Chains A and B, each alone.
Chain A
Amino acid sequence: MLRNLLLKTLRDQRIPILAYGLGLGALALLVISIYPSFAEGGAELEEVMENLPESYKAFTGGVLSLTEFDGYLVSQFLIVLPLVLAIFAIIEGTGALRGEEERGTMDTLLSLPISRTQVVIHKAAATLLSIVLVLAIVGVVLMLSAALVEGAELAPANLALVLLSAFGMGAFFYCFALFLSAVLPSRRLAGVLGAAVTVGAYFFDAFTDIVDGLYAYRVVGPFNYFNPLPILRDDLMLTDPAVLLGVSVVLLLAALFIFQRRDIAGI
């Protein structure tokens, strides 16, 4: 199990993987299990949705109807999925470099014949694999729940693409946190800045729909590239996850570049 740093990092993350996977799975199960009561709400619920203020609608993932399963699932579950993944990614990303330096274990690790590049690559690969495992648990729970609840229909290919988009979000936030961890002098600072950027980006994306003049700038925010509703409605676009993964690679390379050149902080 501990043959290399990748497997060791995965081992360290086994409890978070289960906690995040099962936690999100439980939320998905709960959301889907109460869908029939929303579906029965019919016309009254539609009227309520139509009369909601625009500022509220901006936070529902573009959903205008809760009686249709895809809109319901997006507004009640999928909209929070990237936020939860971002929390996991930022904790792991900031801990990967600065966290390990502050604990003093980076000195011990780098006294082994392992390069700084290997450290970054192994840790990044392990955490991205952890995100895949969390999403796999979520995917399985979603499919099983949807199969058991009347009116809840999920096409496996569409769901897989939604989860790929969510993976793109997780990868982006992990690589962003890793970059902060390489650049900033403390884990706490990297964590605070990472969390602030995540929350800020979430609100920024919502406000681009309702504030005049902001719409043109929506492309700079990561949440612009997570659009589960069109995917569930058979618009199987790959550009969004491709953009997120592309930016993630750039951030990873930047983190690597800086980490290779700077001093390892002592305790």
Chain B
Amino acid sequence: MTARAAGRIFRARLPPERKAEKANTLATEPAIETHGLTKFYGKTRGVENLDLSVHRGEIYGFVGPNGAGKTTTVRLLLDLIRPTGGSAKVLGMDVARQSTAIRARVGFLPGELRMYESLTGRQLLRFFGSVRGVTDMSYVDELAERLSAELDRRIGTLSRGNKQKIGVLQALMHRPDLVLFDEATSGLDPLMQQELYAILDEYRGQGGTVFFSSHYLNEVERICDRVGVIRAGTLILSDTLESLQEKHVRRLRLEFAEPPPPDLFAGLAGVQKEYQDGTTVQALIQGNLAAALQEAARHTVVDIEYEERRLEDIFLQYYDTREESHAAEPAAQDSA
């Protein structure tokens, strides 16, 4: 018997209390944790010094334009490619050493899902189910009905959207602890996207974690709890949506019955007056809306316009301001 085989047997015979202790430890660790994760393809940077922490039970939006390093990150987490430096843990397990065990508890859906086109959806799901040890297909049937997936046609004859539905089913069929979605909603029509968001909401409600890589900011805003922004292989921001929105500078436009005094908002922290023209005042607000409104309410306000808080603006703001210096800077402080 080899030492490795003996080691496997030894590990398999951990006493129950040790097993429970180990399980508890693993359950409290982040769903995804990377330290200095780096991948270079020759001289081309995929990701560099990526420090990610995705909590259990959250939907983490991983945002960035094409080529930013989103897919590289997902492929590193699945051990499809090997890092040049750093380390990654998924569900408390080391990606380099325990990738098969990790993949048993992870679902994966890429944007360009390629499947065995000669099989029907049902055949593919049975094959994947056999490999994953899924014997009860009732959950798959339920999801298939919700997504109106066509299971009895050959995958090669399906449209991209219908293939993607089969992809959703295979990613969730084993009720994984974590799903990695990489531009996963591309190809789905808006109704199906909404249904998928609902499924993911339920999945999160049951304790599941979603790593949701996307460049569609509206969907990230719709479903994610926290957001990481990656640019040119480097994480430039990681924070809750709420906190991001608070930090984001938004425009307030007020119409007064009478011209307000010229020193309106003077000395008010987080409020910067852009201009004042007669009865109209426009200011930039960063988190201190209440103080600005209190100050304005000393006068007769007849109309208010307050810029909608959109992730897209926050995203663009970060991209604009970090255009030159992003590579050398660490990610912004995570307030979560």
A: which residues have CB within 8 A of B? 2-5, 8, 12, 103-105, 107-108, 110-115, 261-264, 266-267
B78 within 8 A of A: yes
Q: Is the CB of A104 within 8 A of B112?
A: yes
- 9 A–B contacts, CB within 8 A, in A order: A2-B130, A3-B127, A4-B130, A12-B116, A107-B80, A107-B110, A110-B78, A266-B80, A267-B114
Residues of chain A within 8 A (CB-CB) of B81 are 263-264, 266
Residues of chain B within 8 A (CB-CB) of A114 are 100, 103, 131
Q: How far is the CA of A263 from the CA of B99 in the complex (A)?
A: 14
Residues of chain A within 8 A (CB-CB) of B99 are 115
Number of chain B residues whose Cβ lies closer than 8 Å to a Cβ of chain A: 31
Q: How far is the CA of A262 from the CA of B103 in the complex (A)?
A: 18
Q: How far is the CA of A104 from the CA of B75 in the complex (A)?
A: 13
Residues of chain B within 8 A (CB-CB) of A2 are 119, 123, 126-127, 130
Residues of chain B within 8 A (CB-CB) of A267 are 112, 114
How many cross-chain pairs have Cβ atoms below 8 Å apart between A and B? 72
Within B116-140, the residues touching A (CB, 8 Å) are: 116, 118-119, 123, 126-128, 130-132
B: which residues have CB within 8 A of A? 71, 75, 78-82, 99-101, 103-104, 106-108, 110, 112-116, 118-119, 123, 126-128, 130-132, 170
- Name the distance in Å between A197's Cβ and chain B's nearest Cβ: 28
8 Å CB contact of B115 from A4, A12, A108, A262: A108
Apart from A104-B112, A107-B110, A263-B81: 11 A-B pairs, beta carbons within 8 A: A2-B119, A8-B116, A105-B114, A107-B108, A108-B113, A108-B170, A110-B103, A111-B107, A113-B103, A266-B71, A266-B80
- Name the distance in Å between B256's Cβ and chain A's nearest Cβ: 58
- Name the distance in Å between B40's Cβ and chain A's nearest Cβ: 11
Q: Is the CB of A111 within 8 A of B108?
A: yes
A5 touching B131 in the complex, CB below 8 Å, given contacts A103-B114, A115-B100:
yes
Closest to B114 in A: A104
Q: Is the CB of B80 within 8 A of A263?
A: yes
Q: How far is the CA of A107 from the CA of B114 in the complex (A)?
A: 8
- Name the distance in Å between A150's Cβ and chain B's nearest Cβ: 45
Residues of chain A within 8 A (CB-CB) of B79 are 110
Q: How far is the CA of A130 from the CA of B254 in the complex (A)?
A: 78
- Name the distance in Å between A31's Cβ and chain B's nearest Cβ: 34
A112 touching B103 in the complex, CB below 8 Å, given contacts A3-B130, A264-B81, A266-B71:
yes
Residues of chain B within 8 A (CB-CB) of A108 are 108, 110, 113-115, 170
Q: What 9 A-B pairs have minimum CB-CB distances, sorted nearest first?
A: A104-B114, A113-B104, A111-B108, A2-B127, A263-B81, A264-B80, A3-B130, A113-B103, A112-B131
Closest to A15 in B: B118
Q: How far is the CA of A114 from the CA of B106 in the complex (A)?
A: 12
Residues of chain A within 8 A (CB-CB) of B71 are 266
A4 touching B131 in the complex, CB below 8 Å, given contacts A110-B80, A111-B78, A114-B100:
yes
Q: Is the CB of A113 within 8 A of B130?
A: no
Q: Is the CB of A113 within 8 A of B116?
A: no
- Name the distance in Å between B132's Cβ and chain A's nearest Cβ: 6
Closest to B118 in A: A12
Q: How far is the CA of A238 from the CA of B217 in the complex (A)?
A: 67
Residues of chain A within 8 A (CB-CB) of B75 are 107, 264, 266
Q: Is the CB of B101 within 8 A of A113?
A: yes
Residues of chain A within 8 A (CB-CB) of B116 are 8, 12, 105
Residues of chain A within 8 A (CB-CB) of B118 are 12
Q: How far is the CA of A111 from the CA of B106 in the complex (A)?
A: 8
Q: How far is the CA of A103 from the CA of B118 in the complex (A)?
A: 13
Residues of chain B within 8 A (CB-CB) of A113 are 100-101, 103-104, 131-132
Q: How far is the CA of A262 from the CA of B114 in the complex (A)?
A: 21
- Name the distance in Å between B30's Cβ and chain A's nearest Cβ: 20
Q: How far is the CA of A8 from the CA of B131 in the complex (A)?
A: 11
Closest to B128 in A: A112
Q: How far is the CA of A73 from the CA of B111 in the complex (A)?
A: 55
Q: Is the CB of B132 within 8 A of A112?
A: yes
- Name the distance in Å between A29's Cβ and chain B's nearest Cβ: 30
